[in-house]
Chains A and B, each alone.
Chain A
Amino acid sequence: MKPAPLDYAAPETLAEAVALLADASREAKVIAGGQSLMPMLNMRLARPELLVDLRRVDGLDHIREEHGAIRIGAMTSKREVEQSPLVRERLPLLHAATLHVGHPQIRSRGTVGGSMAQADPAAEYPCVAVALGATMRVVGPGGERTIPAADFFVTYLTTALEEDEILVEVSFPVPAPGTGWSFTEISRRHGDFALAGAAITVALDGAGTVADSAIVLFGVGPGPVRAHAAEARIRGGRPGDELYREAGAAVAAALTDPPADVHADSEYRRHLAATMTTRGLAEAVQRT
């Protein structure tokens, strides 16, 4: 279990990094924390000719609040996110989700950008990004652009990034005060990829009924799955067990063919998605 031959570069600027990716003569791949990529390299399931390591590029490791959003550099480790008072206070949903990502030893090197770009459908971060309406700032040969999280995750292990583009920052809008949230997941063991999970935000209006919500599921589709039908079902509804169960039922009805693997068949995943929705909504409403 050893990587195939490869070359390695650690450029000091984004421009150099982009140029290396854009060079069509070799198949190049970005390595950030490597916590998903390295196992693939060791098993020779991924075999790029060139690894472009972003570790020396300045300006990719930060967590700061600007214009109502928390901006997190792509090379920021999940451990930094976990330990950031700013994230804990302003994005408690992201903080909670982070604790479910692997273990501290993985979070120390695993990065925010790496998780987003890897786009594992069972991973926590893409789901949270969609639920919070994050935007991805990416840099390529033609300059910079931003991509809403909802458009960023295309399908299984595939994002909207072009081959010569680099994700440099994720910007999470800070939810309005009073927004309830929850992050629920079920996995075989603590720290494993989820069988199914849900990231939820909910806002109530003055009358105490649901004004707005985001219900996003993971582990049950080719990427984060926004439960539009369930959101529509609860809009204007009065919080309570019945409403939560209806949301779960709407999730179950809308899910088409959740993936099956050795740990969970499709029907079970559908059921878990509904259960996580029901439980998560109750938890989120409690936090409003």
Chain B
Amino acid sequence: MTVEIPKSLAELPVGEPRWVGRRVRRTEDAALLTGRVEFIDDVQLPGMLHCAILRSPFAHARITSIDVSAALALDGVAAVVTGADARAWANPPRSAPEGWGALCIAAEKASFVGEPVAAVAATSRYVAEDALELIEVDYEPLDVVEDPFAAMQPDSELVHEDQGTNVMMQRVFTWGEVDAALAGAAHTFTERFRWNRLGANPTETYGCVCEWDPMSLDIVVRGAMQSPSSFALGRAATFGLASNKVRVVGHAHGGSFGGKGNARGTDIACMLSRKAGGRPVKWIEDRSEYMTAGASQAWDRHYEATLTTDAEGVVTALVVKLVDDIGASGDGFGAISAAKPLTAFTGPYTIPVARYDLTLVATNKVPASPYRGMGPPPHFFVLEQMMDIAARGLAIDPAEMRRRNFIPADRFPYTIPSGNEYDSGSYERVLDEALDLAGYEQLRKDQAAARAEGRLVGIGVASAIEPGVFDWNAYAIVGMPQTGVPEGATVGVDITGSITVRVGFSHEGQGQPTLVSQLVAEYFAVEMDAVRVVHLDTASAPPSFGPGGSRLGVAITGAVLGACERVRDKMATVVAAIMHCDAGDVELRDGRFRVAGRPEVDMTVAQVAGTMLARSDLLPEGMDPLPEATYVWTAPGRTPADEEGRAKSYLTAAQAVHVVVVEIDAETGVVEIVRYCLVDDCGTRLNPVVVEGQTDGSVAQGIGAALYEEYVYGDEAQPLTASFMDYLMPTINEVPAIEKREVVTPSPVSPLGAKGCGEGAMHTTPAAVMCAVNDALAPLGVMAREVPAAPNRVWNLLRSAGTQR
């Protein structure tokens, strides 16, 4: 039976919406604010052991021998595992691209500093760490593969000998007549850029409590992962078990941003449990483990880009060449970040043809992972710098440059050269609002005055797309075969009329539990706190992925509304049977079932549910008495990718314009953000408070990316940024006041017209800040091509420009 998901608030079965689209306080906050939410490290189980992991001090070394006897003999130690156990019990994990996965414990050689070499389960983490010091490992150091360009040379040392190369993938994607466009261009601009490694660093690291029953071989994993269902499938594949032998209990967790969920550590804890007779084993990834060996690092990129325009500054082609240093293996799935730019390759612009020359390289660094935005943020950093380079070259104002190239509002749905279809947008209006908010004309006047005084003031105007509602088909080029990402919800009304919603995702911070309550309360016209939301494990939940790729808000809206529709349909059938009318005439409105012209037909949702469960005498034979329904939503109209990777992939395309003012200290190179203004359009805002929170948070992460955050490797690929002393995330002092406005252009294709907004400003902020930095530097004839624009780097530029006093 097909279900029509409401595409706008007006289609909900109520008069004036009370909850959806309103500034609603979150239902999850009281427990969080009082310390009552059970995070994974709060879990205590009877007989539980604690795991600590011994890690390689070498980036590349053969393990010639390992002796764990002294560790095993230590009081309190219950089990020890090494690479030999991993070889016996585990397969190499799935990876992207396929075939580049590494065993959870290095069996023959270590391929990055921090790779697990052995692990201990003991009565406490303290004792487990003591035991690690008693394990003796002999290493034979190998040549270290540090640089991706050297790694591509045929004589390079190999990270994966069995592959015969360090090149994980090399392909050129051409969309349209690129060569002709390049040949016929009035102006051609080419530049190189460097985006350094950075990553998610949620305040809670990953953790898990694992039980592997040695008799049944059933596995239970409690953990703080972003996607419990994917995690469960991964464990089943790694251990060669049927998927229903693994049950994952996803816990409320302290943020993820794509960078959380350590499969290696989980598999290790599982193996320790099996060795310890099935006792639960807790592994809490500590911060240094997270930073040197966790899902902490993304986007280690070397770019070369060419952008061509006609005589008027209309862009005619975009060519991007990317060498992405993926690190020691593909099981962190960092490679999908290199594929995701296909979803919005040409940004908000009408660029008609494009080429993507993509090389993924293995080196002896931490395997790359996803991070908020998943790849487009560096891509848009490059694209927006190129737009500014072209604008400067053609003496066009940067705002005007964008205006000339924006996809006009009347051309949606709009298919971009790399295949995705944008649903809707009002790009020029967003720009106008942003320029108005910032007082752009005055800003330029102030800048001219500042420049006359010798000050380095810059204004960045940047725009980007936030692809929303991720789809696996976007990553087909790195080996993901699926189309669609199902998300389910079960809505049930009990005998007294109370409503419970059962979902498969866990609390992560973006307010989806509240959203579920908003939707159901609206649909059935009850108070929000009357709706109970229950988070289920993977053995009980309907199909679910959870948050990721700006999807869950939209996807869960579809799932919940679909389930509500089904419950309504079932109830309408019951009402029709009791009242002897046609089910098609029964209407749910403001929580009551009525029939036009039959005033005696007036039943509440609770009455219908009570009838279904407690008045079988009234129900016709064969009628389903369960006032409950499950609906699994998946984005409509998606298409499998073609040979060139083109697909209708991410369902929605949000857009934003940011206007940033910076001032650079001409003596020290320190960049200060003086003003931050943005206008965004992510369609219907289901809970504006939450949308604004996502925007603010992603601006902060974008500022971190542009100015502060970087994982640095030293000689022999030794990590030099292994603590928060050196990996610099913005504090409240580094994030300025953010001035915001919104434009709302609903999506015509999504539930309630909402667009994905969870990754938000991360797409635009790094680009905008760097545009501002380069605008400040422009009079000196130098350009910041490397992110982050740390003061030492900027000072080097100033010095090269000869402005040093």
Contacts and interface: CB of A to CB of B under 8 A. Distances in A.
B276 to A, nearest CB: 20
B666 to A, nearest CB: 10
A2 B126 contact: yes
Interface in A173-200: 186, 188-193, 195
Given A245-B805, A275-B667, A2 B708 contact: no
A79 to B, nearest CB: 19
A271 interface: yes
Contact of A188 (B130, B288, B791, B795): B791
Interface stretch (B90-98, B342-350, B504-512, B728-736): B728-736
Contacts of A44: 129
B616 interface: no
Contacts of A262: 710, 712, 720-721, 726
A265 interface: yes
B708 A188 contact: yes
Given A43-B288, A189-B731, A263 B129 contact: no
A1 interface: yes
Contacts of B805: 245
Interface string A184-222: 001011111101000000000000000000000000000
A179 to B, nearest CB: 26
Contact of A263 (B667, B726, B734): B726
B113 to A, nearest CB: 15
A4 B130 contact: yes
Nearest to A265: B792
Given A188-B708, A262-B720, A272 B790 contact: no
Nearest to B124: A2
Most buried by A among B129, B286, B667: B667
Given A263-B790, A264-B792, A189 B708 contact: yes
Interface string A248-288: 00000000000001111100100110010000000000000
Contacts of A142: none
B125 A190 contact: no
A268 B795 contact: yes
A5 interface: yes
A275 B668 contact: yes
User: Which label, helix, strand, loop or mixed, suits the secondary structure of the B interface?
Assistant: loop
A186 B728 contact: no
Contacts of B667: 275
Most buried by A among B734, B792, B796: B792
Interface in B109-126: 125-126
Nearest to B667: A275
Interface in A17-52: 39, 43-44
Interface string B710-754: 101000000011010110101101100000000000000000000
A268 B799 CA distance: 10
Contacts of A2: 125-126, 129
Interface in A79-134: none
Contacts of A191: 731, 733
A263 B125 contact: no
Contacts of A43: 288
B708 A1 contact: no
Interface residues of B, number: 31
Contacts of B791: 186, 188, 195, 264, 268
A39 B287 CA distance: 12
Contacts of A193: 725
B670 interface: yes
Contacts of A263: 726, 790, 792
Given A44-B129, A262-B712, A189 B792 contact: no
Contacts of B725: 192-193
B265 to A, nearest CB: 14
Contacts of B710: 262
Size class of A's contact patch?
A: 20 to 34
Contacts of A4: 129-130, 133
Interface string B332-370: 000000000000000000000000000000000000000
A189 B728 contact: yes
A25 B712 CA distance: 41
A5 B131 CA distance: 12
B668 A272 contact: yes
A272 B710 CA distance: 21
A193 B723 CA distance: 14
A276 to B, nearest CB: 9
Nearest to A4: B130
Nearest to A268: B792
Contact of B728 (A188, A261, A265, A271): A188
Given A1-B287, A263-B726, A190 B733 contact: yes
B439 to A, nearest CB: 28
A44 B288 CA distance: 12
A265 to B, nearest CB: 6
B733 A189 contact: yes
Contacts of A245: 805
Nearest to A2: B126
Contacts of B130: 4-5
A165 B21 CA distance: 67
B707 to A, nearest CB: 9
B728 A192 contact: yes
Interface in A155-178: none
A1 B286 contact: yes
A275 B670 CA distance: 13
Contacts of B726: 261-263
B288 A1 contact: yes
B795 A271 contact: yes
Contacts of A39: 723
A275 to B, nearest CB: 5
A193 B670 CA distance: 16
A33 B287 CA distance: 22
Given A2-B125, A263-B792, A186 B670 contact: yes
Contacts of A1: 129, 286-288
Nearest to A188: B728
A141 B670 CA distance: 49
A200 B286 CA distance: 41
Interface string B285-321: 0111000000000000000000000000000000000
A188 B668 CA distance: 11
Contacts of A192: 725, 728
A190 B731 contact: yes
A186 B792 contact: no
A195 B665 CA distance: 15
A264 B133 CA distance: 34
A116 to B, nearest CB: 20
A262 B286 CA distance: 22
A184 B133 CA distance: 43
Nearest to B288: A1
Most buried by B among A1, A4, A39, A261: A1
Nearest to A260: B792
A123 B804 CA distance: 27
A122 to B, nearest CB: 10
B750 to A, nearest CB: 39
Contacts of B723: 39
Interface in B624-680: 667-668, 670
A263 B670 CA distance: 12
29 contacts: A1-B129, A1-B286, A1-B288, A2-B129, A4-B129, A4-B133, A186-B791, A188-B708, A188-B728, A188-B790, A188-B791, A189-B708, A189-B733, A189-B734, A191-B731, A191-B733, A193-B725, A261-B720, A261-B726, A262-B710, A262-B721, A263-B726, A263-B790, A264-B791, A264-B792, A268-B795, A271-B795, A272-B668, A275-B668
Given A186-B670, A268-B796, 5 more contacts: A2-B126, A189-B734, A191-B733, A268-B792, A275-B667
Interface of B: 125-126, 129-130, 133, 286-288, 667-668, 670, 708, 710, 712, 720-721, 723, 725-726, 728, 730-731, 733-734, 790-792, 795-796, 804-805
Which A-B residue pairs are the 5 nearest by beta carbons? A1-B286, A190-B733, A262-B712, A2-B126, A268-B792
